[in-house]
Amino acid sequence: MHTGTATLTEETERITRMPIRTPQFPVAPEPGRGGGRRLDLTVCSIVRDEAGNLEDLIAGIPLTRLEWIVMDTGSRDATVELLLQAGIKAHPFSWCDDFAAARNASLALATRGWILWLDADDRLDESFWEALAPLLDGPKRAYRFLVRSPRENSRGDCFRQIRLFPNHLGIAFEGRIHEQLGTSLAKLSVPVEQANLEILHMGYATPAKRGAKLKRNRALLEKERLQYPRDPAVMMEYGNCLYQSGEYGEAMQAYLSLLPGPDPRACGDAPGDEVLRHFPALIGETCLKLNAEEQAAEWFRLAAGWNPNDIKPLYWLGKNALAANNVHGALEFFYAAVDRPLVIGKVATDNHTVRRNALALVVLCETRLFGANKAPRGRECLRELIAGGLKNFPLDPRVPWDFLRAADSDADAECYARAYLDLAPADTSMWEDLIEHLFARKRHREVLEVFTQRPALCRRTGVLEAFRAKCGEACGLATEDTYAVYREALRLFPEDPTLLVYFSDFVNHNKLYARCYADLKTLVRPTETVRDFLRQIEAMGYGGVT
């Protein structure tokens, strides 16, 4: 399911994309390496021109513990050579525009008791195999794993997919594209259960990858929809492909083809099919692309009733209310969205990002309506947001700091600032606020430790230098050394008012008028504040004394 939902783009900076690595040929594992007991498991994969992906996949598979069957559908790059160097033979398969046929060819060669199917752009960590092993000792049933497809600006889509099933029962894939096992398992009465294992699928991590797959999928989906015009999964994927291609009118027709009509109020109760229950939300998003906002709202209302586990309709209804300046109404929708648990179903959704955006909008709406001191749920929402990580954070970085300080949650504010500055060490404004926060609480040694740990902060701004000098003085730094810090800072930041105030206090306290006068007179462009201080020193009889 396409989402179209990003973080709050006006308040979020895009993360830097990771550079593409040149693949290195792995060496076949030595006998006995791989760790752990032999697994009664065959991994089945189909590949084509996957040299750039295989290094990371091979690194995540304990090759000495299992059997790996790979069907190559016509690679022209180093895919086959890479597999051979890892000790894996690639079986040739003549591509026939049918993913199910290729996968079933790999299943036919599997010899062990269980089958796990993987794509070349899947990623697994070591803990995956330890969690998988007990399933192989259990009853013969299929298991749905959590599959997550990251995006460059969000955690990405998540959905449940059957990945593990018993061998030798005649289980087979069906579908030319987006092939599935559910029909075959139902015919054979093989039960399906959820398993808390996650596979990271990197196939949609960048716009380039998504574009390439969209182009490939379009032709296959055209054939699939003609063969299965009443299959909700096929029509959903076909509609999504049109939507992602910018053909919104055609996408609308695809989604509506399996509904009673174009009026959401006449669609009746929710259908039993899980995929079909997602159609109103898809139509609502398409309406937004067609600038039909009133129709979108009606479809989102139907979506909220048909699919209570999908929080996106509530989020969009809240956004619509907010656009109409109905902040109270918007907040009610955002409350409803964050009050519903995140449920991962068989349709790919990015509810994680939607929830984070809803949490952020609760904070913004409550601040606007009540202020941070009286926001009933803002602090709780911010804590969840921060606990979820600051990468792709859906708020301006100033908002949590200012909110938590105004709400007298100084400890939370400080923890947030430190975590944020670990990711954004160039944010000088936040550094100034954090240092001032520590300084105001007389935590002078902690301030100096920050400068020791972050030497790049030295000589960055006059404010930071003022705090560094003041804290050094409080911690017993020699007067001469403290003065040297001020003197160097004044040469770099002669117009900074905070620095001048702290420096004048230091001079008055230590009666260093003569030295101060001489140093201030060397400034090329003295400010009016500096001139006033010079006149005060002259009035005390120190003018011109060196």
Residue 12, Cα to own-chain centre: how many angstroms?
12
Tokens of 281: 């939300």
As separate numbers, helices (DSSP H) first and strands (DSSP E) second, the chain gives 23, 8
Q: Please check whether residue 409 is in contact with residue 437, taking contact to mean a CB–CB distance below 8 angstroms.
A: no
Tokens of 499: 């620095």
Amino acid at 333: F
Nearest CA to 499 among 478, 475, 535, 523? 523
Q: How many CB atoms lie within 10 A of CB 462?
A: 22
b/e per residue 261-283 (b: at least 16 CB within 10 A): eeebeebeebeeeebbbbbbbbb
Ordered per-residue pLDDT tens for the chain, 546 residues: 444 333 333 333 332 333 333 334 344 444 334 567 899 999 999 999 999 999 999 999 999 999 999 999 999 999 999 999 999 999 999 999 999 999 999 999 999 999 999 999 999 988 999 999 999 999 999 999 999 998 776 678 899 999 999 999 999 999 999 999 999 999 999 999 999 999 999 987 677 777 888 888 888 999 999 988 999 999 999 999 999 999 999 999 999 999 999 999 999 999 999 999 999 999 999 999 999 999 999 999 999 999 998 999 999 999 999 999 999 999 999 999 999 988 888 888 889 999 999 999 999 999 999 999 999 999 999 999 999 999 889 999 999 999 999 999 999 999 999 999 999 999 999 999 999 999 999 999 999 999 999 999 999 999 999 999 999 999 999 999 999 999 999 889 988 999 999 999 999 999 999 999 988 888 877 888 888 888 989 988 887 543
Nearest CA to 222 among 252, 197, 185, 250? 250
| CATH annotation of 425-539 | 1.25.40.10
pLDDT value at residue 32? 36
Q: Note the CATH architecture for domain 41-205.
A: Alpha-Beta Complex (3.90)
Give the CA distances from residue 354 to residues 292, 310, 316, 483, in Å, rounded to whole numbers and listed in that order: 21, 10, 9, 53
pLDDT value at residue 2? 43
Residue 67's H or E segment, with its range, is strand 67-72
Measured CA to CA, the distance from residue 405 to residue 415 in angstroms comes to 12
Amino acid at 533: F
Are 41-205 and 209-383 equal in CATH topology? no
pTM beyond cutoff 0.95: no
Nearest CA to 356 among 389, 398, 327? 389
pLDDT value at residue 391? 86
Nearest CA to 132 among 200, 32, 40? 40
Nearest CA to 342 among 331, 353, 330? 353
Tokens of 330: 């918007």
Q: Please check whether residue 459 is in contact with residue 465, taking contact to mean a CB–CB distance below 8 angstroms.
A: yes
Measured CA to CA, the distance from residue 437 to residue 452 in angstroms comes to 18
pLDDT value at residue 35? 60
pLDDT value at residue 542? 85
Q: Please check whether residue 413 is in contact with residue 379, taking contact to mean a CB–CB distance below 8 angstroms.
A: no
b/e per residue 415-448 (b: at least 16 CB within 10 A): ebbebbbeeeeebeebbbbbbbbbbeeebbeebb
**CA triplet 515, 519, 521: central angle to 5 degrees?**
120
Q: Please check whether residue 400 is in contact with residue 356, taking contact to mean a CB–CB distance below 8 angstroms.
A: no
Contacts 24+ apart (CB under 8 A), 333-341: 334/358, 334/361, 334/362, 334/365, 335/362, 335/377, 337/311, 338/311, 338/362, 338/381, 340/308, 340/309, 340/311, 340/314, 341/309
Residue 69's H or E segment, with its range, is strand 67-72
Residue 3 has, within 13 A of its CA and on its CB side, a CA count of: 27
- DSSP 8-state secondary structure symbol assigned to residue 429: H
Measured CA to CA, the distance from residue 2 to residue 504 in angstroms comes to 61
| CATH annotation of 209-383 | 1.25.40.10
Measured CA to CA, the distance from residue 401 to residue 543 in angstroms comes to 45
Distance spanning both ends of the chain, measured CA to CA: 77
The domain segmentation of the chain, as residue ranges, is: 41-205, 209-383, 425-539
pLDDT value at residue 471? 96
Q: Please check whether residue 316 is in contact with residue 334, taking contact to mean a CB–CB distance below 8 angstroms.
A: no
Q: Please check whether residue 5 is in contact with residue 153, taking contact to mean a CB–CB distance below 8 angstroms.
A: no
* Alpha helix segments (H runs only) across 138-196: 182-187
Q: How many CB atoms lie within 10 A of CB 152?
A: 17
